[in-house]
Amino acid sequence: MPNDTINNAIKKASTSNESYEEIVYEGYGPNGVALIVEAATDNKNRTAADVRHAFDKCGGNLGTSGCVSYLFTKKGVIVIDKANCSLDEDSLMMLAIDAGAEDFGVEEEIYEITTSPETFSEVREKLEAEGVEFLEAGLQMVPSTYVALDEAGTARMEKLIDMLEDLDDVSEIYHNWEE
């Protein structure tokens, strides 16, 4: 390949005017499951068409802005593996609550700490200072209610999530499906 071709490609890429825009899509999946889809795109029309196609193909409906967001609350969520945590349950809970956590949940293999968006960084930093390792830590849209699905609804919902995850522009998917 000639050097001129390579240099022209580099120059074109470095002077590109592409700007990505963050867009949030809301809608209902199978059996009324609420979904929020966050995307970053350089072509809103393409992304909207792709997301709408996924909803339509799987028995859902893409809605207007605000149609499901009232069912979710932005929260900080920190997930810790019990097996890799050096602190016992009570010590970890007291540390998290003293740092500003709103809730501390215990499941079979994990601890889940919930914070407000404002206190998330502080709680995370205090836990890191104690050497606690996270499986997951970030701000998420947490549903206030959940929807249970039958076998057919579960299959359609899994297909919808897979189709949305396969889209290059989609960055996050939140839902209130009780898995």
What's the rounded Cα separation, in Å, for the pair 130 and 128? 5
pTM: 0.79
Three-state secondary-structure class, residue 179: coil
Please tell me the predicted confidence (pLDDT) of residue 5: 74
In this structure, are strands 72-81 and 103-106 parallel, antiparallel, or unpaired? unpaired
Q: Tell me the average pLDDT of the chain.
A: 90
What domains can you pick out in the chain, each with its CATH number?
Answer: 20-70+144-175 (3.30.70.980), 73-142 (3.30.70.980)
Q: Dig out the tokens for 40 from the structure.
A: 């970053």
Q: What is the pLDDT of residue 15?
A: 59
Whether the per-residue pLDDT at 16 is higher than 60: the answer is: no
Q: Is 98 left (phi over 0), alpha (psi -120 to 50) or beta?
A: alpha
Q: How far apart are CA 130 and CA 80, in angstroms?
A: 13
Q: Which residues pair with 35 in a beta bridge?
A: 27, 175
Q: What is the pLDDT of residues 73-121, one digit of tens each?
A: 999 999 999 888 888 899 999 999 999 999 999 998 999 999 999 999 9
Count how many residues are written for the chain: 179
**Which amino acid is residue 151, in one-letter code?**
E
Q: Is the pLDDT of residue 125 over 60?
A: yes
Could you read off the pLDDT of 18-39 as tens digits, one per residue? 788 999 999 999 889 999 999 9
| Structural contact between residues 100 and 122, judged by C-beta atoms closer than 8 angstroms | yes
Q: Give the count of alpha carbons within 13 A of 2, CB side only.
A: 3
Find the mean pLDDT for residues 122-145.
93
> In angstroms, rounded to a whole number, what is the distance separating the alpha carbons of residues 24 and 34?
13
Q: Which run of H or of E encompasses 81?
A: strand 72-81
Task: State yes or no: pLDDT of 12 exceeds 70.
Answer: no
